[in-house]
Chain A
């Protein structure tokens, strides 16, 4: 039989939503998806069948992609700053609240992947399940982005329309080919550079998300501690234990 909802369940939901709110990555996730779609669409438009792309079109598309990535990084950075503040507040509260005798459950097994060595200090706390709820979305989005970047053509191929005019046709084809080669030389240079920039962005995004995840878990852990400490009876337990 299904257990009826209690006000304690509602309070937990509110706590969860408040935590989610500070971590909510919906728009970031959506932004990454949008960037991926844009990449795919642009790739088809620029390098698909039809006319070869104009140099300005390639550069313009790259600037748009840059703009989107920079915005994503900016948003993630702001989130990170907000999280840092919350961590500080929670740590401060924890520091100024007496600890209870019972220790938190070991959530470590719920970790889906290890963190880089630079975040090793986050292992000081166990994991709480609430914080990890939205992480898979972000991870998937980021993986999709990485995949999209790997797929992206880093070289623009030449496609020259052949002229079949008598006598001057061959000459025209050679001139066209020479001009196209010149344009493609510069275009490919920019495209390769952009590919490097994209990779760099991807690395930054990966790091930010990993850091974000680690801090989320730390916050969840601190919240858990706080809840235990402020729960009715905690003081009594402590007194009896002491």
Chain B
């Protein structure tokens, strides 16, 4: 098919949605396809829409629609459009980066008169696909979401004439074709305008063919017709439109009158039943039910009488000819600054205030678990990376596991939920860990393919944990940066699990590391572990150390040790799972020694008991808390075991303690120390793993040898007896965090890494001779 570059007119119809409109206009700056103009048709507005549009003076055209009628507004835009293609997008939606590029690809087929892409509903709790490859009959029966083109074929319903249709939030037409059918029927003041145009185009012999690509992300905003995410709305307008649609299109396309009547009955009765249901659940009052019922009847009456006795309100032929003579070129929306515009969060409207020197990156971060559903470990780290990268102006897509496909926004990043089924790699199903890992990784790969196509992502970042990016790394589709954390092979070694399943997961992890474009280790200790556990060194794949970072709390939230008013009781906090690797047994031995010297000290131990997994319970028959109570009964009054606590509670604990202690035998980095330092707390850890890279011994806290309870007790007692040292260590720790370990520092590190990888990939691609060069050299 020829590679044709059409000119587009992007038409936005808006009334009283200034905030959403601003976000859309910012998002349009990121379109990869440059040949488009923007026309904004403003309805009878009462907010500051016109002020927003003033900022774009000279870049877009503003037209006015005197009435609050979507079809009239759409026709005004259509008449003024100079592009060969008119693309409509809702003012409360944002397009994917390749939206117009994909639509242009579809229109390369000269037979296609209308198309449109997927619409993702961005909902606070129930994100889903709102529209994909929809079909509708002349009697307004519709399937809005279909798995593929072959789904729901043959369609089931009374209608004999079916056509594919687009949703108004994301639809594009060949201008000449839309003009030929008279544009939009202005009877439809809201809803069914899009379906009606599709049916009329199809019945006039034009090809209507939506695509499963070119998505827009729809963040429903309130309007005069409905309050977003509530039941409040002028739903009778829908009934009016549906009745009108069914009668007009049903009659013109030969539907029997009895079927038309059945559909009308269905609309009126269905809406009435819905209202009754709302009333039964006390969501609307009796008065509202009565009013709604009367309005439904009125809507049906108006729809029927207009369809039966009045001609449709279409663009007049004279108007058609007059506009067709216009040969003015489009006024491109993009300018030289567009490429350097930071990413925008379509929900909050936030965007970075950083002035970008290079175009923002488009990054995909992978994490099986992700907040707000799962707030732990890798998910938390990924979230901080996403947040930091967004604050630096980059576009971030996070792919995480979900029960159904959907997109939401969290901390500025697109969060794509990826469901997966165990329908691949069936010959490996006797290895459950491998089977799950590969199937999920494949599902992620497929989603990444879609993101590459539609959102033009440049690079993928995956943790070793769960090996989400394994299939993508094997495919070579995109450069993959790998973040090594504690992984299955290490856990297998600790837990002495030598099963085939665990061994193979370890080998998958190793292969992922070897296939990485770059390994982003969080500490020097991690690079040593990589060499030891995976035999991966800088020779096998480039390794870069990027320390973890956390979000610094506001200065007001920090509570350094109070020098002016010494507390009556000092609190020592431990956070972490209760297991051998975390040094819990050493802490238990040290606590009585401290309490003997300082009886006014209280110990708070927060974290889940892991005595079963690490074999402690098998050996002693007791959980860790029970063991402590039995072994040191005299200390139980001074030690609180809280178990696993919520994120909010954890922050409060960090804030209120006076000393933080975590005598882990190994930590690849030691995020918990940073959490305590964030609140200006002195910390005690061990000289093991990456801990010395975080804790500056004698400056921000104390380091002791691993498995040395005497040293631990001594360090705790010494610090607790010196208020000034507690204060000074705490303040120094906070300063160290602000200087080196914030999520912005971490994001900057990743930004440099990504740019380096992309530059190397581009250089490698350039070094490959083209076919022409090759032919020349051989001749």
Residues of A within 8 A of B (CB): 4-7, 10-11, 13-15, 17-18, 21, 27-28, 30-31, 34, 38, 56, 60, 63-65, 67-68, 71-72, 74-75, 92, 95-96
B426 (CB) vs chain A CBs: closest residue: A13
Given A14-B474, A18-B475; A68-B425 close (CB under 8 Å): no
Report the bound CA distance from A14 to B472 in whole Å. 10
Query: Which of B153, B508, B510 has the most chain A CB within a 10 Å cutoff?
Result: B153
Q: Say whether B504 faces chain A, with CB atoms less than 8 Å apart.
A: yes
B150 (CB) vs chain A CBs: closest residue: A31
Q: Are B474 and A71 in contact (CB under 8 A)?
A: no
With both chains docked as a complex, state the minimum distance between the C-beta of B677 and any C-beta of chain A, in angstroms: 40
Given A13-B438, A56-B160; A18-B471 close (CB under 8 Å): yes
Q: Are A30 and B768 in contact (CB under 8 A)?
A: no
Q: Are A5 and B428 in contact (CB under 8 A)?
A: yes
Interface residue count on the B side (C-beta < 8 Å): 34
A21 (CB) vs chain B CBs: closest residue: B446
Q: Say whether B277 faces chain A, with CB atoms less than 8 Å apart.
A: no
B449 (CB) vs chain A CBs: closest residue: A21
Checking A6, A21, A72 against B150 with a beta-carbon cut-off of 8 angstroms, the contacting residue is A72
23 contacts across the A-B interface (CB closer than 8 A) = A4-B500, A6-B507, A7-B507, A10-B507, A13-B425, A14-B438, A17-B442, A18-B471, A18-B474, A27-B148, A27-B150, A38-B154, A56-B254, A60-B160, A63-B160, A64-B162, A65-B154, A67-B153, A68-B150, A74-B149, A75-B150, A92-B771, A96-B774
Report the bound CA distance from A56 to B253 in whole Å. 11
Report A-chain residues with C-beta under 8 Å of the C-beta of B475: 14, 18
Checking B154, B446, B471, B504 against A68 with a beta-carbon cut-off of 8 angstroms, the contacting residue is B154
Q: Say whether B224 faces chain A, with CB atoms less than 8 Å apart.
A: no
Checking A11, A14, A34, A95 against B771 with a beta-carbon cut-off of 8 angstroms, the contacting residue is A95
Checking B153, B254, B504, B768 against A71 with a beta-carbon cut-off of 8 angstroms, the contacting residue is B153
Report the bound CA distance from A72 to B768 in whole Å. 38
Report A-chain residues with C-beta under 8 Å of the C-beta of B162: 64, 67
Report B-chain residues with C-beta under 8 Å of the C-beta of A18: 445, 471, 474-475
Q: Are B425 and A75 in contact (CB under 8 A)?
A: no
Q: Say whether B87 faces chain A, with CB atoms less than 8 Å apart.
A: no
Report B-chain residues with C-beta under 8 Å of the C-beta of A71: 149-150, 153
Report the bound CA distance from A200 to B148 in whole Å. 24
Report the bound CA distance from A64 to B159 in whole Å. 11
Q: Are B425 and A17 in contact (CB under 8 A)?
A: yes
Q: Are A67 and B154 in contact (CB under 8 A)?
A: yes
Beta-carbon contacts of B734-764 to A below 8 Å, as 1s and 0s?
Answer: 0000000000000000000000000000000
Q: Say whether B424 faces chain A, with CB atoms less than 8 Å apart.
A: yes
Report A-chain residues with C-beta under 8 Å of the C-beta of B633: none
Report B-chain residues with C-beta under 8 Å of the C-beta of A6: 507
With both chains docked as a complex, state the minimum distance between the C-beta of A109 and any C-beta of chain B, in angstroms: 24
With both chains docked as a complex, state the minimum distance between the C-beta of A38 and any C-beta of chain B, in angstroms: 6
Closest 6 CB pairs of A and B: A7-B507, A31-B150, A64-B154, A60-B160, A14-B474, A71-B149
Q: Say whether B434 faces chain A, with CB atoms less than 8 Å apart.
A: yes
With both chains docked as a complex, state the minimum distance between the C-beta of A220 and any C-beta of chain B, in angstroms: 15
Report the bound CA distance from A1 to B507 in whole Å. 22
Q: Say whether B769 faces chain A, with CB atoms less than 8 Å apart.
A: yes
A75 (CB) vs chain B CBs: closest residue: B149
Beta-carbon contacts of B143-157 to A below 8 Å, as 1s and 0s?
Answer: 000001110011100
Report the bound CA distance from A30 to B153 in whole Å. 11
Q: Say whether B511 faces chain A, with CB atoms less than 8 Å apart.
A: yes
With both chains docked as a complex, state the minimum distance between the C-beta of B137 and any C-beta of chain A, in angstroms: 11
Q: Say whether B427 faces chain A, with CB atoms less than 8 Å apart.
A: yes
Q: Say whether B608 faces chain A, with CB atoms less than 8 Å apart.
A: no
Q: Are B154 and A96 in contact (CB under 8 A)?
A: no
Given A60-B160, A96-B774; A10-B150 close (CB under 8 Å): no
Q: Are A7 and B511 in contact (CB under 8 A)?
A: yes
Report the bound CA distance from A204 to B722 in whole Å. 87
Report B-chain residues with C-beta under 8 Å of the C-beta of A74: 149, 209
Report A-chain residues with C-beta under 8 Å of the C-beta of B769: 96
Give residues of chain B (150-203) contacting chain A, Cβ–Cβ below 8 Å. 150, 153-155, 160, 162
Q: Are B431 and A30 in contact (CB under 8 A)?
A: no
Q: Are B160 and A34 in contact (CB under 8 A)?
A: no
Report the bound CA distance from A73 to B724 in whole Å. 79
Q: Are B149 and A7 in contact (CB under 8 A)?
A: no
Report the bound CA distance from A146 to B769 in whole Å. 47
Report A-chain residues with C-beta under 8 Å of the C-beta of B427: 13
Checking B154, B209, B446, B508 against A10 with a beta-carbon cut-off of 8 angstroms, the contacting residue is B508
